[in-house]
Structure 1
């Protein structure tokens, strides 16, 4: 399939901060240009310790700007004109220092001066140590920047170069790209005119006012799929269970708690052309939910009675008049992945099943809550086995498979 030109003619100013995640901006530049955007870059002095201006210039095809007091640069492209001539400014990685300067209005280098001298929309992708991210000073700066209208993408949670784990990882290039396309109003992709419904995350099924049944789903894959579909032009609604993730830019999001709430939200969202049921919906719920906290009593355990939750995938797949044209389910399995997933596709009546192995790996981790996924896409006409990849990349690949499916269909979008 040809590469989407969703950003054709758009001008992006990329401000590269000084962090190890700066290497990701090289891929971001490539992807922005693939989609038709022109990219100019400003690099802070610290950024040049991680990637070279020559590397950035080679990919942008433009001169890289580094010095506020460079008389030649000021004559050719003044810092004010540099920032105001862009359609979007992206700061990635946005370090704690750069964010502090933005929040307090400091302008002591080219990057911070350009950010202060602009009325262009700004998207930042924070990246820093988890302790720096969680520090009260940084949190105050985040609140101020959001109040000032600055858009955020990320950070994600995971292992860091410093050896710690937690929030602070810069968003992946595809995630930043998706957010940029959403901010630039890029709705002309191959799925333009189609309506997509995506479920994501776990559900929480209450036992009493303080306890619930849940699972380890983080929602990362479902959220990434919603963003990828929106990036290709689909009008996308994300119905999310409880997660610790920001709502994707360019996507309408409805938050729910239980399986019954999620089903009701799905039904209210119909008609739709595409339904991707990526949520890990709890199979059962307690049918004798207590109105007060169940107290621990000596000599006995509470008697809990369970009942089945509604099957959202099967319900959407078996609708008569309002069934989405393409219904995709997920099969999270720990053994016999292909066999169980294939049987699930037949049993539920959906068109495609995305099968993934969620068993614990040799490191003690797994797909649930992790950053990567290994997918087997099962359709009536056969199976595709995808290599292990980042969840954002898997989402992109699935979205493009969906776009290809509809490109081969003669039906137009539903009204």
Structure 2
């Protein structure tokens, strides 16, 4: 069993978006469950996550397409990409995990190709291929069966890989765990580039992260890197769209599972800032209880109870709907005529809070295309 001491470090830039400073509980419109475990659809796993300072930042986000470029892509991409992502969630809900993965990757492929089209290059398509390749090759840094990390030929593995991130590094100065962390950080950045700032791309990355968690819970011996991959994919989803409250909640659950309660709190707060929801309120209350902040925990449970009494998946009568964080089929996504609040943020070089410029009007065709996204319902 590896140490579980640095899931906090792996959050890096994404959780910095939620940092409000101080110990005061955030107070968006309200939303408990009676159990003390974080509420999530992700299954439990015995795999721990290593201390990995190399997970702290993604230096590639400054290459994301600008607002003018993403404006060209949306109408062309949304309808087909939306179909692929929705079908991916439907398939995952039925247990067809590998078929669902193909649908999510298909959506990312379409988005990356359309982002590249106006520029006549292949930057986003290559970023998608590089990110997926790095995720696959990262598995080589985990020994099979009763093997030991010390017996791995790191130099030979790195030389044989296509992932460039450790080319030129001295293998005798690396551990398998450190190498794995570098590959996952690289994958995270490349996948964020591939998805641009498209909310549908963020949902595809969230879906891939959920698949990793599911596979890890089903067979933790075979999929020993599953939860570390899930962390990277959730972070990539948040880099693409900081309003993805489901990815933020699941990221918090992974932190809490390994005792990184401060990082978990920040992730749950990011989820609540994006859209108040019962699962995140319940999870935040649990984290606060485990860190001895009982007054704040009681307040969070109050919000969770208020959400609960409003009926499942609907939220309070005076506030926006708040669906559970779980596998969602198209019925949960079916929203029409809603506008999406797309935060305009410049990828920071140091921790900053995500600005919120408020809702912007979208053309009717665009509204229909993206209205199914869960966070579309947060503002009307």
Structure with the larger strand share: 1
TM-score w.r.t. the length of structure 1 is 0.30
Higher relative contact order (CA 8 A, sep 6+): 2
If you compute each CA radius of gyration, which structure gives the higher value, 1 or 2? 1
Relative to total residues, which structure has the larger helix share, 1 or 2?
2
TM-score (norm 2): 0.32
